[in-house]
Structure 1
Amino acid sequence: MKSILEEIYYGNLRPEENIVPKDSEYRSINKEITTNIEKFQKKLSEDDFKQLEELLDMTDQVHSMHSKEAFASGFKIGTLIMIESRFTS
Protein backbone atom coordinates (compact mmCIF):
# COMPACT_ATOMS: atom_id res chain seq x y z
CA MET A 1 0.00 0.00 0.00
CA LYS A 2 1.19 3.49 -0.82
CA SER A 3 1.63 6.07 1.89
CA ILE A 4 -1.46 7.96 3.00
CA LEU A 5 -0.03 11.12 1.42
CA GLU A 6 0.35 9.36 -1.93
CA GLU A 7 -3.18 8.02 -1.70
CA ILE A 8 -4.51 11.54 -1.07
CA TYR A 9 -2.35 13.02 -3.86
CA TYR A 10 -3.54 10.49 -6.44
CA GLY A 11 -7.17 10.86 -5.39
CA ASN A 12 -7.44 7.28 -4.18
CA LEU A 13 -8.64 8.12 -0.71
CA ARG A 14 -12.42 8.50 -0.71
CA PRO A 15 -13.72 7.75 2.78
CA GLU A 16 -17.30 8.70 1.88
CA GLU A 17 -17.45 5.74 -0.51
CA ASN A 18 -16.53 3.23 2.19
CA ILE A 19 -18.58 4.47 5.11
CA VAL A 20 -21.65 2.44 5.99
CA PRO A 21 -23.24 3.53 9.26
CA LYS A 22 -23.30 0.81 11.91
CA ASP A 23 -26.60 2.00 13.33
CA SER A 24 -29.05 -0.90 13.17
CA GLU A 25 -31.77 1.36 11.74
CA TYR A 26 -29.70 2.50 8.74
CA ARG A 27 -30.74 -0.24 6.30
CA SER A 28 -34.39 -0.28 7.37
CA ILE A 29 -34.68 3.50 6.97
CA ASN A 30 -33.05 3.32 3.52
CA LYS A 31 -35.49 0.58 2.53
CA GLU A 32 -38.41 2.70 3.75
CA ILE A 33 -37.15 5.69 1.75
CA THR A 34 -36.93 3.57 -1.40
CA THR A 35 -40.42 2.19 -0.84
CA ASN A 36 -41.86 5.69 -0.39
CA ILE A 37 -40.10 7.04 -3.46
CA GLU A 38 -41.57 4.19 -5.50
CA LYS A 39 -45.04 5.01 -4.14
CA PHE A 40 -44.63 8.66 -5.16
CA GLN A 41 -43.44 7.61 -8.61
CA LYS A 42 -46.69 5.68 -9.10
CA LYS A 43 -48.91 8.47 -7.71
CA LEU A 44 -47.32 11.54 -9.30
CA SER A 45 -47.30 12.64 -12.89
CA GLU A 46 -44.01 12.25 -14.72
CA ASP A 47 -43.36 16.01 -14.42
CA ASP A 48 -44.23 16.11 -10.70
CA PHE A 49 -42.01 13.12 -10.01
CA LYS A 50 -39.16 14.76 -11.91
CA GLN A 51 -39.56 17.82 -9.66
CA LEU A 52 -39.47 15.55 -6.59
CA GLU A 53 -36.28 13.89 -7.87
CA GLU A 54 -34.69 17.33 -8.35
CA LEU A 55 -35.63 18.25 -4.79
CA LEU A 56 -34.15 15.00 -3.48
CA ASP A 57 -30.98 15.62 -5.51
CA MET A 58 -30.64 19.08 -3.94
CA THR A 59 -31.14 17.53 -0.50
CA ASP A 60 -28.36 15.05 -1.29
CA GLN A 61 -26.07 17.90 -2.38
CA VAL A 62 -26.67 19.78 0.88
CA HIS A 63 -26.08 16.60 2.89
CA SER A 64 -22.85 15.97 0.98
CA MET A 65 -21.64 19.53 1.67
CA HIS A 66 -22.43 19.11 5.37
CA SER A 67 -20.65 15.74 5.49
CA LYS A 68 -17.57 17.24 3.83
CA GLU A 69 -17.44 20.04 6.40
CA ALA A 70 -18.00 17.60 9.28
CA PHE A 71 -15.15 15.43 7.98
CA ALA A 72 -12.82 18.42 7.68
CA SER A 73 -13.78 19.66 11.13
CA GLY A 74 -13.20 16.23 12.68
CA PHE A 75 -9.84 15.97 10.96
CA LYS A 76 -8.79 19.40 12.24
CA ILE A 77 -9.90 18.58 15.78
CA GLY A 78 -8.01 15.27 15.66
CA THR A 79 -4.89 17.06 14.44
CA LEU A 80 -5.16 19.66 17.21
CA ILE A 81 -5.55 16.87 19.78
CA MET A 82 -2.39 15.19 18.46
CA ILE A 83 -0.45 18.48 18.52
CA GLU A 84 -1.65 19.36 22.00
CA SER A 85 -0.94 15.92 23.41
CA ARG A 86 2.55 15.92 21.85
CA PHE A 87 3.60 19.31 23.17
CA THR A 88 1.84 19.49 26.53
CA SER A 89 2.98 16.19 27.96
Structure 2
Amino acid sequence: MESILKKLYYSYLNREQYFYDKNPEYRNINEKTIKAMETLEKRVSDEDYKTILKLMELHTESVAIETADAFECGFKQGALIMLEVLKDEKTR
Protein backbone atom coordinates (compact mmCIF):
# COMPACT_ATOMS: atom_id res chain seq x y z
CA MET A 1 0.00 0.00 0.00
CA GLU A 2 1.38 3.38 -1.00
CA SER A 3 1.90 5.87 1.81
CA ILE A 4 -0.26 8.97 2.13
CA LEU A 5 2.88 11.08 1.72
CA LYS A 6 3.70 9.55 -1.65
CA LYS A 7 0.11 10.04 -2.75
CA LEU A 8 0.36 13.67 -1.65
CA TYR A 9 3.68 14.10 -3.47
CA TYR A 10 2.55 12.55 -6.74
CA SER A 11 -0.93 14.05 -6.73
CA TYR A 12 -0.38 17.61 -5.64
CA LEU A 13 3.24 18.65 -5.31
CA ASN A 14 4.81 17.30 -8.47
CA ARG A 15 2.91 19.39 -11.00
CA GLU A 16 4.80 21.27 -13.69
CA GLN A 17 2.97 24.54 -13.08
CA TYR A 18 4.38 24.79 -9.56
CA PHE A 19 8.02 24.53 -10.52
CA TYR A 20 9.03 24.07 -14.11
CA ASP A 21 7.28 27.05 -15.66
CA LYS A 22 8.65 29.42 -13.04
CA ASN A 23 12.25 28.23 -12.92
CA PRO A 24 14.52 29.74 -15.61
CA GLU A 25 17.40 27.45 -14.61
CA TYR A 26 15.25 24.40 -15.31
CA ARG A 27 14.15 25.78 -18.69
CA ASN A 28 17.79 26.49 -19.61
CA ILE A 29 18.91 22.98 -18.71
CA ASN A 30 15.93 21.48 -20.53
CA GLU A 31 16.75 23.45 -23.70
CA LYS A 32 20.38 22.29 -23.54
CA THR A 33 19.22 18.70 -23.10
CA ILE A 34 16.95 18.93 -26.13
CA LYS A 35 19.77 20.38 -28.27
CA ALA A 36 22.18 17.68 -27.10
CA MET A 37 19.65 14.97 -27.92
CA GLU A 38 19.10 16.43 -31.39
CA THR A 39 22.87 16.39 -31.95
CA LEU A 40 23.16 12.80 -30.73
CA GLU A 41 20.29 11.69 -32.95
CA LYS A 42 22.20 12.98 -35.98
CA ARG A 43 25.57 11.48 -34.94
CA VAL A 44 24.74 7.99 -33.72
CA SER A 45 22.99 5.01 -35.27
CA ASP A 46 19.26 4.50 -34.76
CA GLU A 47 19.99 1.54 -32.50
CA ASP A 48 22.40 3.55 -30.35
CA TYR A 49 19.94 6.43 -30.15
CA LYS A 50 17.20 4.06 -28.94
CA THR A 51 19.62 2.80 -26.29
CA ILE A 52 20.31 6.38 -25.18
CA LEU A 53 16.56 7.07 -24.96
CA LYS A 54 16.04 3.93 -22.87
CA LEU A 55 18.88 4.99 -20.57
CA MET A 56 17.27 8.41 -20.15
CA GLU A 57 13.91 6.79 -19.34
CA LEU A 58 15.51 4.56 -16.71
CA HIS A 59 17.34 7.52 -15.20
CA THR A 60 14.13 9.55 -15.08
CA GLU A 61 12.31 6.70 -13.32
CA SER A 62 15.17 6.35 -10.84
CA VAL A 63 15.22 10.08 -10.07
CA ALA A 64 11.43 10.11 -9.64
CA ILE A 65 11.62 7.31 -7.07
CA GLU A 66 14.55 8.95 -5.30
CA THR A 67 12.79 12.32 -5.17
CA ALA A 68 9.53 10.85 -3.86
CA ASP A 69 11.41 8.93 -1.16
CA ALA A 70 13.37 12.06 -0.18
CA PHE A 71 10.11 14.03 0.03
CA GLU A 72 8.55 11.38 2.25
CA CYS A 73 11.63 11.21 4.48
CA GLY A 74 11.84 15.00 4.81
CA PHE A 75 8.15 15.28 5.58
CA LYS A 76 8.44 12.64 8.32
CA GLN A 77 11.51 14.32 9.79
CA GLY A 78 9.68 17.65 9.80
CA ALA A 79 6.73 16.07 11.60
CA LEU A 80 9.06 14.52 14.19
CA ILE A 81 10.66 17.93 14.78
CA MET A 82 7.21 19.45 15.28
CA LEU A 83 6.28 16.72 17.76
CA GLU A 84 9.47 17.27 19.72
CA VAL A 85 8.99 21.04 19.82
CA LEU A 86 5.38 20.69 20.95
CA LYS A 87 6.37 18.12 23.57
CA ASP A 88 9.06 20.47 24.94
CA GLU A 89 6.57 23.33 25.10
CA LYS A 90 4.18 21.23 27.19
CA THR A 91 6.89 20.31 29.72
CA ARG A 92 7.87 23.94 30.39
Scaled by the length of structure 2, the TM-score of the pair is 0.74
Structure 1 residue ranges without an equivalent (≥5): none
- Report whether the alignment pairs 1:14 with 2:12: yes
CA RMSD of aligned residues (A): 2.4
Q: Distance in 2 between matches of 1:61 and 1:23?
A: 22
Q: What is the SS of the residue equivalent to 2:11?
A: coil
Q: Distance in 2 between matches of 1:80 and 1:14?
A: 22
Structure 2 residue ranges without an equivalent (≥5): none
How many aligned residue pairs are there?
Answer: 81
Q: Distance in 1 between matches of 2:36 and 2:65?
A: 25
1:23 CA displacement: 5.2
Spell out, residue by residue over 1:25-60, the C-alpha distance to the aligned partner (whole angstroms, 9 max, x if none): 221111101110111111111111000001111111
- Report whether the alignment pairs 1:35 with 2:35: yes
Specify which structure has the bigger relative contact order, considering alpha-carbon pairs within 8 angstroms and separated by 6 or more residues.
2
